[in-house]
């Protein structure tokens, strides 16, 4: 018999979680203004809000905490991180930052000015926020297949080279400070970018004299998909694939809370010494001195160790197979999801889940509320609330894809938890015809409203 799949780790420490009653959840979600970010974590049984900073560190990472060097300047922890970045990602220069959006803030301060154009593949919301805050424009060049959840494409994170070329031809190079390639592409469903596409984008960028920066939060998951899906890579190690991926980038921003499996941390890595020097000034202003940039020495140590572990095949195989397990169980119940399954999350297609539901009533957010009420599972809307308003017209933006995201923390939950989530959402799917009314916005921030928005349920009787 073929041996079944099993996790590549065992558990040394546990954290209790608690179930609640339906009545309790009704009250809590109302008090939270129907925004799941406002829930207390002890009001949640299984927390799939995000895979960011929510993973379990290994025994080796915890050991590294004890070895942290907390010197202000030139700490050994800085050099440990520098070596890991050089060895695994191939970049000579780097700046630590406290998380991914801080890396964006520092790098974009050095690169982006008002009126600039930044093409990319469905920029993540903080990336877009940092671009638009500088009165520049993010142009989405993702391939069309990504926007149809019923179509199979092995690399739905790919950039459409025709769309990209149109942008590069339309604007002068001085107006395009960078192309952002997000690996994997979170906004389109945790979808990977193929090696061939990375190479072609880089070659095109070089032809036009433009730099390519990878938004690298889930670079290792991207490498896993290349190994499993792209011809010619099956025999290569993840570490070999990662090095080749980054050979097609001039630099990267990193949210280490994902594929470096730490609870906090980030960095910028670059090849260009001059750009590194320019960014260093902003790092000192916004984050901290260039050898710690908002991180403690112990956290830099854990991050360095996490980069080695996060690029091990067995770990990635366990991780991606767990996500796929949830995806498959949801499919078994008929729940419409983005396919192929993403690396870090299952993205439920809210438009297909609730056909005909008015987009102005935020179907994915409505589903997030229903799933919470059903079973205490916290998920997140990746739809119109997140897409925010157009910075110029102030009109609501309704993206092609309206997703409910179930993001899986790394090494945290078992497949029994996945089963629980699948049945919970399966139950919501069974009673989908009774979900007639959604929510309306009562109060929102002028930018990045997603996190703090206050909502009200629309009354059926009105």
Q: Which residues are catalytic?
A: 72, 124-125, 215, 217, 258, 450
Q: What is the DSSP letter of 215?
A: E
> Does residue 293 belong to the site contacting ligand F0G (CB under 6 A)?
no
**Residue 311 in the binding site for ligand F0G (CB under 6 A):** no
222 counts as binding ligand F0G under rule CB under 6 A: no
Other C-beta atoms lying within 10 Å of the C-beta of residue 157: 31
What are the phi and psi torsion angles at 219 (to 5°)?
-60, -35
DSSP state of 138: E
Strands 380-382 and 403-407, sheet pairing: antiparallel
**Residue 298 near residue 290 (C-beta atoms within 8 A):** no
Per CB under 6 A, 255 contacts ligand F0G: yes
Query: Total number of residues binding ligand F0G (CB under 6 A)?
Result: 16
Please give the residue whose beta carbon sits closest to ligand F0G in the complex. Answer: 100
Question: Considering the complex, what minimum distance in angstroms separates the CB of residue 123 from ligand F0G?
Answer: 8
* Residue 110 to residue 331: CA distance in whole angstroms: 45
Residue that is written with structure tokens 């890579």 in the block: 233
Q: Does 347 bind ligand F0G (CB under 6 A)?
A: no
Q: Which residues 185-204 are close enough to bind ligand F0G by CB under 6 A? A: 186
- Closest to 331 measured CA to CA, from 401, 429, 409: 429
Work out how close the CB of 207 gets to ligand F0G at its nearest, in angstroms, rounded to a whole number.
26
Q: Which residue, 52 or 194, is less far from ligand F0G as judged by CB?
A: 52
Interface with ligand F0G, residue 43, by CB under 6 A: no
Residue 408: helix, strand or coil by DSSP? Answer: coil
Under the binding rule (CB under 6 A), the answer on residue 182 touching ligand F0G is yes
CB burial of 77-89 (b: ≥16 within 10 Å; e: otherwise) equals bbebbbebbeebb
Minimal distance in Å, beta carbon 405 to ligand F0G?
A: 8
100 is an interface residue for ligand F0G by CB under 6 A: yes
Contact between 217 and ligand F0G (CB under 6 A)?
yes
Q: Is 302 in the site for ligand F0G (CB under 6 A)?
A: no
Q: Name the minimum Å distance from CB 380 to ligand F0G.
A: 7
Angle at 180 between CA 296 and CA 130, to 5 degrees: 60
CA atoms within a 13 Å half-sphere pointing along the CA-CB vector of 209: 6
E runs forming strands in 260-325: 266-270
What is the rounded CA–CA span in Å between residue 444 and residue 403? 20
CA-CA distance, 163 to 73, in Å (whole number)? 45
We find the least distance from the C-beta atom of residue 344 to ligand F0G, in angstroms, to be: 8
Rank residues 32 and 357 by Cβ distance to ligand F0G and give the closer one.
Answer: 32
CB of 401 to ligand F0G, least distance (A): 15
Residue 304's nearest CA partner among 47, 33, 60, 48 is: 60
Least separation in angstroms between residue 106's CB and ligand F0G is 12
Nearest to ligand F0G of 171, 413 (CB atom): 413
Q: Yes or no: say if 262 and 81 are a contact pair by the CB < 8 Å rule.
A: no
Identify residues 355-414 at the interface with ligand F0G (CB under 6 A): 407
Q: Among residues 68, 266, 297, 438, which is the contact residue for ligand F0G, using CB under 6 A?
A: 266
**Residue from 122, 126, 142, 365 in contact with ligand F0G (CB under 6 A):** 126
d(Cα 114, Cα 135) in Å, to the nearest integer?
5
CA distances for 65 relative to 70, 76, 254, 265, 312, angstroms: 11, 13, 20, 13, 21
Residue 74 Cβ vs ligand F0G, minimum distance, rounded to whole Å = 25
Near ligand F0G by CB under 6 A: residue from 25, 82, 101, 298: 101
Cβ–Cβ < 8 Å for 315, 238: no
Q: Taking the C-alpha atoms of 363, 123, 218 and 372 in order, what is their torsion angle to the nearest 10 degrees? A: -20
Question: b/e for 415-438, b at 16 or more Cβ within 10 A?
Answer: eebbebbbebbbebbeeeeebeeb
Q: Are 418 and 61 in contact (CB under 8 A)?
A: no
Nearer to ligand F0G, 171 or 184 (CB): 184
Member of 124, 315, 372, 429 binding ligand F0G (CB under 6 A): 124
The least distance separating ligand F0G from the CB of residue 126, rounded to whole angstroms, comes to 5
Q: Which stretch, 66-74, 122-130, 290-298, 387-395, contacts ligand F0G (CB under 6 A)?
A: 122-130
Q: Does 130 help bind ligand F0G (rule: CB under 6 A)?
A: no
Q: Which of residues 35, 43, 52, 121 is near ligand F0G by CB under 6 A?
A: 52
Nearer to ligand F0G, 357 or 377 (CB): 377
- Token pair for residue 379? 């998920």
Pairing between β-strand 377-378 and β-strand 380-382 as defined by DSSP bridges: unpaired
Interface with ligand F0G (CB under 6 A), residue from 29, 35, 47, 50: 50
Which C-beta is closer to ligand F0G: that of 64 or that of 215?
215
Pick the binder of ligand F0G from 132, 215, 287, 349 (CB under 6 A): 215
Q: In the complex, which residues of this chain contact ligand F0G (CB under 6 A)?
A: 50, 52, 99-101, 124, 126-127, 182, 186, 215, 217, 255, 257, 266, 407
């Amino acid at each position: 018999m073929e041996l079944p799949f099993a996790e590549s780790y065992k558990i040394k420490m546990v954290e209790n979680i608690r179930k609640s009653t339906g009545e309790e959840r009704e009250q809590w979600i109302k008090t939270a203004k129907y925004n799941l970010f406002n829930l207390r974590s002890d009001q949640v049984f299984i927390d799939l809000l995000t895979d960011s900073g929510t993973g379990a560190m290994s025994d080796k990472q915890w050991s590294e905490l004890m070895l942290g060097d907390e010197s202000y300047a030139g700490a050994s922890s800085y050099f440990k991180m520098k070596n890991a970045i050089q060895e695994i990602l191939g970049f000579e220069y780097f700046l630590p930052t406290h998380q991914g959006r801080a890396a964006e803030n520092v790098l974009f301060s050095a690169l982006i000015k008002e009126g600039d154009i930044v093409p990319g593949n469905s920029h993540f919301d903080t990336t877009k926020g940092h671009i638009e805050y500088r009165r520049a424009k993010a142009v989405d060049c993702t391939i069309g297949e990504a926007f149809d959840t019923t179509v199979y494409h092995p690399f739905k994170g790919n950039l459409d080279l025709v769309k990209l070329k149109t942008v590069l031809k339309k604007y002068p190079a001085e107006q395009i400070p960078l192309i952002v390639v997000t690996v994997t592409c979170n906004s389109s469903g945790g979808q990977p970018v193929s090696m061939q596409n990375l190479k072609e984008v880089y070659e095109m960028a070089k032809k036009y004299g433009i730099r390519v920066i990878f938004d690298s939060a889930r670079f290792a998951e991207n490498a896993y998909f290349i190994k499993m899906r792209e011809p010619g890579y099956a025999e290569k190690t993840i570490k070999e694939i990662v090095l080749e991926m980054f050979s097609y980038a001039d630099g990267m921003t990193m949210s280490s809370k994902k594929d470096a499996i730490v609870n906090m941390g980030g960095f910028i890595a670059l090849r260009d010494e001059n750009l590194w020097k320019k960014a260093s000034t902003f790092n000192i202003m916004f984050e901290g001195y260039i050898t710690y940039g908002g991180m403690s020495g112990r956290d830099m140590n854990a991050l360095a160790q996490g980069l080695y572990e996060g690029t091990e095949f067995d770990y990635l195989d366990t991780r991606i197979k767990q996500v796929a397990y949830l995806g498959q169980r949801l499919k078994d119940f008929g729940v419409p999801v983005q396919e192929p399954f993403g690396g870090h999350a299952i993205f439920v297609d809210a438009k297909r889940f609730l056909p005909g539901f008015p987009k102005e009533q935020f179907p994915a957010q409505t589903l997030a509320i229903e799933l919470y009420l059903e079973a205490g599972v916290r998920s997140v809307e990746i739809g119109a609330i997140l897409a925010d308003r157009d910075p110029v017209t102030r009109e609501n933006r309704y993206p092609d894809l309206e997703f409910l995201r179930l993001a899986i923390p790394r090494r945290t939950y078992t497949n029994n938890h996945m089963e629980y989530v699948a049945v919970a959402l399966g139950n919501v799917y069974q009673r989908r015809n009774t979900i007639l009314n959604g929510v309306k916005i009562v109060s929102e921030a002028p930018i990045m409203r997603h996190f703090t928005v206050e909502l009200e349920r629309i009354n059926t009787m009105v």
